[in-house]
Structure 1
């Protein structure tokens, strides 16, 4: 069973964008492994709260203008 796990900032994508990401990721994995894996392909989109991630000692938050609206 192919498995993809995306970790994204909370509210970075709308519900429709997350659905599209799941569909496109499934199609990508099917292109490698064949249609046989489609029913068992798992795509997990995890949303990380602001301040819950960072790089090189910098804690990230998403500016309001970059938040997706549902």
Structure 2
């Protein structure tokens, strides 16, 4: 079963953008593995709250410019 796991900052993507990411990721895996992979493909989008992760010893908080717009 193909499995893709995205860990993104909370608020970075709208619901519509998450759906698009799931569809495009599924299609990419189908393109590589064949149509037989589609019903078995799992795409998981996990959101991490601000301050819940870091890089190079710096706690990350997503800038407002990178937050998803208020789209349902």
TM-score range, shorter chain: over 0.9
Task: Give the superposed CA RMSD.
Answer: 0.8
Aligned to 1:59: 59
Report Cα offsets for 1:13-54 as digits up to 9, x if no partner. Answer: 000000000000000000111000100100000000000111
Q: Structure 1 segments of 4 or more deviating over 3 A? A: none
Aligned to 2:47: 47
CA distance in 2, matches of 1:64, 1:20: 22
Number of matched pairs: 70
Aligned to 1:31: 31
TM-score for both structures, normalised by structure 1? 0.94
Shift of 1:3: 0.1
